[in-house]
Amino acid sequence: MKKADNARRRETLDIAMRVVSGAASLIGIFFLGWILWTVARQGLAAFNIDFFTELPAPPGVEGGGLANAIAGTAIITLLATLMGVPLGLFTGVYLSEFGKSTRFGGMVRFTMNITMGVPSIIVGLFVYTLLVLPFKHFSAYAGAVALAIIMLPVVARTTEDMLNLVPNALRESALAIGMPRWRMIIAILFRAARSGLLTGILLAVARVSGETAPLLFTAMSSPYWMKGLAEPTANLTVTIFNYAMSPFDDWKQLAWGASLFIMATVLGVNILARTLLRERTK
Amino acid sequence: MTRFHEYLSEHFETIFRWFTILCAGTVLLIMAGMFINLAWNARLAIGEFGLGFLWSDAWDPALNEYGAFSSIYGTLVSTLIAMAIAVPMSVVIALFLVELAHPTVSKVVGSAIELLAAIPSIIYGMWGLFVFAPIMAETVQPFLQETLGLEKVPGLGRLFTGAPMGIGMLTAGLILALMILPFISAVMRDVFAMVPPVVKESAYGMGSTTWEVTHKVTLRYGIQGIIGACFLGLGRALGETMAVTFVIGNAHRISPSLYDAGNSIASTLANEFAEASEPIYLHSLIYLGLVLLVMTFFIQLAAQWWVARLKKSMGAGL
Amino acid sequence: MSDVKLPLYGEMADPTPKISVRGLDFFYGDHQALFSNDIDIAPNRVTAVIGPSGCGKSTHLRVYNRIFELYREQRVKGAVLLNGENIFAPTVKLLDLRRRVGMIFQKPTPFPMSVFENVAYGIRLHYAVSKSELDGRVEEALKGAALWEEVRDLLNRPGTALSGGQQQRLCIARAIAVEPEVLLMDEPTSAIDPIATAKIEELVEGLKGKYTIVIVTHNMQQAARISDFTAFFFKGYIIEFGATKQIFTNPHNKKTEEYITGRFG
């Protein structure tokens, strides 16, 4: 058989690809650094006591803050978590414990995977038609429902995966001492998988707290403090969108501040979730 | 104990089971609800324009003429740019993280890329509008046009004509690429890391270089996960709203040049929803949303079908 | 501690060893796993490497094709001469070394591609062949691995769809397709059933006329059945090395005797 005289070509290609892959990673890191740096620099300039305590000021007026939007985002995210997490958790329980190989279970799993790929703006549009159009007003609860719908499949997927990791022997030994199944799930499985579950929930919360598109048509925005759940509610991300697109420099400044605030929160929760998981797997 | 309590404790097992079934059922309800609700609330536009909506490029709120074509076109083109850049880059980044980098470097870079994936899209939009777009306008676009002379290349040159404004299809595609890059890379890295060391060793044992092992064995071994990652990235790119809305320019037109402003379905929804005063305008926007929902639905469907098919053809060992 | 006598092959027509190992030390980070190993591997014979688990058998084998270099914490000292040339010399091309020294692993490792593509993989890397020549080479390699009759109609099926024993023979076919000089086998039958094992042992007997074979095994009957020479490893040292018949009937070293009579291991 004729040996190919290609060793040098193959090795050169290999080295070239090594260089390319190192360079691509550097580019990724470079852009991350650039974005973080820009947001931090511009955002820090907007941070002061007023930013966290005051209502927005009209354009041109000195000062003003985004206290109402910070509160609004916190409340909407909290409400979404209260709805989305239990729903997702028990959907995951169903998929892993009861409906593993049933037709209904397969259908739910399939639909869940598809739902995860539905753009968040479509979820916003759906909730708009569901909770805003019929009642003729934007509301915090509509925003929360939209975020909860985004959380649900994420939490359900991680719950299913995490419960699948729990060895069957643990289930059997709990059932063998006469524990009912529901108690086995809550007392044994949840405990065995708790760091994984917590990580999944934290990541889901982090993800929705940075969402903008689903809130555009649901919670919308407001320059005032919220008085109830059934009215348009200020929130950080929609405020960023509105202020960044505005022609006023001090509003743009506030938008950068809001960006830094939301980015720091999201990244902080992410890092927290990952360390939690790492501690556990050690 | 009251009779109710007795009943409860006796049947709690069944109640609990049905409760979880109920929760699982909401997933189906939500999916069905999305299609039904959007279709119902788009009924005026569906009745007025029918399927012709899809290929009509009219968009005139003054005359109440609406068509989805320019939005669909913009969505597809920006997604295409993003995928063409992000997918190959993700492959080599995963290669770097799993095969080449020192473990400490790999851990640091890997975490950084995971964080990049967690940054909310509105931040990409802000950064894109205020930092990236001006650089595109002043440096990158003139460089491509003049220094590289791309404008004068027959055929291809049409993509690079027009005034370098910074805002437009090309910038939107690049920001989208940057956004989905960490997402796809993170999944690909996990896929690469899952290939059993002994399979890689035996490829090296045949006298393969690292790159040969990667693209002939690792990539094929992980093809399921990689396709899955690409489809997820594709789904994200198609429906991404904020990162695109800031930089695409929001013009309802179809231009061969990537320098020109365009619009995507998501950006149109984000921009014009507040202005939709007439019912037909609102219904047209919701119809647009329905089109996007159907697009992503079929992409997810294709992804799942594809993965199932691969599982069959590659054998159970994968 | 060592009872190794070199050279060993006075009675053979060509006594030049295929591989000579001199003063080989091996380290996993700070942990030393092999201690001044000396051994000569006879050409076109089967050399078995036995010893209790964790004694360094596989580690030793993984030096011959420098596959250990994939892991940055692993390093060696000493020399391994293939046809008299040190494999660590800068003139030795790593890719070609690995073509000349093929390796079969404990578990079958078919690549995620068709049976045909698996065998063609190495040929395409190292040789310039036409399509028809490639077909011939693949067939020849599969025949050489005693697999052709079983897979001739399954060439386009995924390699992973074969049975465990067939997969292992596919890996052997893939290795011999690139015309190696040496075949390293790292417990090649430990993951497959007895009938498939018998087939592979038979195959090894047939292959030794063309290739120099070094086989790591924890199955002493297997070593006795198929090998011409046997090296006994213990705690990183080569305790005893000699003709298989001698090792199994009249071991010089007490540890060797204890091991082959099953008193430990």
**If we measure between CA atoms, which residue out of B125, B279, C247 comes closest to residue A35?**
B125
User: Subunits with at least 3 CB pairs below 8 A relative to chain B?
Assistant: A, C
CB A76 within 8 A of CB A235: yes
| Band (B62; pLDDT cuts 50, 70, 90) | confident
Same domain, A18 and A155: no
Question: Which CATH number belongs to the domain containing residue A164 in this structure?
Answer: 1.10.3720.10
Residues A16 and A95 in one domain: no
A148 contacts chain B (CB < 8 A) = no
From residue A148, how far is each of A117, A120, B242 by CA, in Å? Answer: 15, 11, 19
Does the pLDDT of residue B36 top 90, yes or no?
yes
Flag whether residue A207 sits within 8 Å of chain B, measured between CB atoms: yes
On whether both A21 and A130 belong to a single domain, the answer is no
Residues of A in Cβ contact (< 8 Å) with C133: 1
Inter-chain residue contact C111 with B220, CB threshold 8 Å = yes
For residue B202, give the nearest of C103, C160, C178 by CB distance.
Answer: C103
Residues A83 and A16 in one domain: no
Taking phi first (over 0 means left), then psi (-120 to 50 degrees means alpha), and beta for anything else, what does residue B131 get?
A: alpha
Q: Per-residue confidence of chain A (282 residues) as pLDDT tens digits?
A: 778 778 889 999 999 999 999 999 999 889 889 999 999 999 998 888 888 888 888 777 777 788 899 999 999 999 999 999 999 999 999 999 998 889 999 999 999 988 988 999 999 999 999 999 998 889 999 999 999 999 999 999 999 999 999 999 999 999 998 888 888 998 899 999 988 899 999 999 999 999 999 999 998 888 888 888 888 888 999 999 999 888 888 888 899 999 999 999 999 999 998 888 777 654
| 3-state DSSP percent of chain B in helix, strand and coil, to 5 | 80, 0, 20
Residue B239, CB half-sphere, CA atoms under 13 Å: how many? Answer: 31
State residue C13's pLDDT score.
54
Inter-chain touch C112–B223, beta carbons under 8 Å:
yes
DSSP for C12-74, written as a single string: SSS---SEEEEEEEEEETTEEEEEEEEEEEPTTSEEEEE-STTSSHHHHHHHHTTGGGGSTTE
Q: At what angle do helices A120-127 and B279-314 cross, to 10 degrees?
A: 130
- Its domain, for residue A258, covers 49-281
* Number of neighbours of residue B37 by Cβ within 10 angstroms: 19
Same domain, A245 and A125: yes
Is the pLDDT at B318 greater than 50, yes or no? no
Tokens standing for A70? 């910070």
**Arithmetic mean of pLDDT over chain C:** 90
Please say whether the beta carbons of C7 and C15 come within 8 A: yes
Tell me if B207 and C171 make a contact (CB, 8 A cut-off).
Answer: no
State which of A46, A64, A81 marks the end of a domain. A46
| A157-202 confidence digits (pLDDT tens) | 999 999 999 999 999 999 998 888 888 998 899 999 988 899 999 9
* Residue numbers in B near A95 (CB within 8 A): 24
In the predicted model, what is the mean pLDDT of residues B51-79? Answer: 91
pLDDT of residue B313: 60
Pairs across A and B, CB distance < 8 A: 255
Element holding B291 (H helix, E strand): helix B279-314
| B19 Cα to chain A: minimum distance (Å) | 8
Q: Which residue has the tokens 């091996």?
A: C26
Q: Are residues A148 and A77 located together in one domain of the fold?
A: yes
Same domain, A66 and A199: yes
- In a structure prediction context, what are the per-residue pLDDT tens digits for chain C, which is 265 residues long? 444 454 455 555 566 889 999 999 999 999 999 999 999 999 999 999 999 988 999 999 999 999 999 998 999 999 999 999 999 999 999 999 999 999 999 999 999 899 999 999 999 999 999 999 999 999 999 999 999 999 999 999 999 899 999 999 999 999 999 999 999 999 999 988 999 999 999 999 999 889 999 999 988 999 999 999 999 999 999 999 999 999 999 998 899 999 988 877 6
* Nearest Cα residue in chain C from A3: C127
From A30, A46, A62, the end of a domain falls on A46
Residue in A closest to B13 by C-alpha? A182
Residue C171 to residue B202, Cβ atoms within 8 A = yes
Residue C1, pLDDT score: 41
Q: What is the pLDDT of residue B311?
A: 66
Hey, what's the torsion of the CAs at A151, A153, A158, A164, to 10 degrees?
Answer: 150
Nearest-Cα residue of chain C relative to residue B198: C109
pLDDT at residue B314, as a whole number? 56
C-alpha span between C119 and C154 (Å, rounded) = 13
Nearest Cβ partner for A149 among B30, B38, B300: B30
Asked if A222 contacts A67 with a C-beta cutoff of 8 angstroms, the reply is no
Q: Report the C-alpha gap between A255 and A240 in whole angstroms.
A: 5
Nearest to B198 among C109, C160, C175 (CB): C109
A176 shares its domain with A164: yes
CA gap C205, C201 in Å, rounded: 6
A65 and A149 housed in the same domain: yes
C213: which strand partners?
Answer: C46, C183
User: Which residues of chain A from 45 to 84 reach within 8 Å of chain B, CB to CB?
Assistant: none
> Which of B102, B223, B315 is the closest to C160 by Cβ?
B315
Q: How many domains does chain A have?
A: 2
Which positions 1-60 of A are in contact with C (Cβ < 8 Å)?
A: 1-7, 10-11
Looking at the fold, whether A267 and A140 belong to one and the same domain comes out as yes
Instruction: Supply the ipTM of this predicted assembly.
Output: 0.90
CA max distance for chain A = 84
What strands lie across the sheet with C74-82, from one edge to the other?
A: C31-41, C19-28, C74-82, C85-86
For residue A185, give how far its alpha carbon lies from the nearest alpha carbon of chain B (Å).
10
Q: Average of pLDDT values for B215-223?
A: 87
Interface residues of C toward A, Cβ cutoff 8 Å, are: 93, 95-96, 123, 125-129, 133, 137, 179
Provide the whole-model pTM: 0.85
Check if A61 contacts C (Cβ < 8 Å): no
Domain shared by A147 and A177, yes or no: yes
The residue from A27, A46, A65 where one domain ends is A46
Q: For tokens 């391994």, name the residue.
A: C80
User: Is A120 within 8 Å of B210 when comparing Cβ atoms?
Assistant: no
Question: Are residues A16 and A100 located together in one domain of the fold?
Answer: no
% helix, strand, coil for chain C, step of 5: 35, 25, 35
| DSSP SS3 for B262 | strand
- Residues of C contacting chain B (CB within 8 angstroms): 65, 67, 70, 72, 94-99, 102-103, 105-107, 109-113, 121-122, 125-126, 158-161, 171, 174-175, 178
Specify the DSSP class assigned to residue A222.
-
Average pLDDT for chain A: 90
Residue A86, preceding peptide bond in cis (omega within 30° of 0): no
Nearest by CB to residue C160, choosing from B198, B205, B317, is B317
Q: Coil, strand, or helix at residue C231?
A: strand
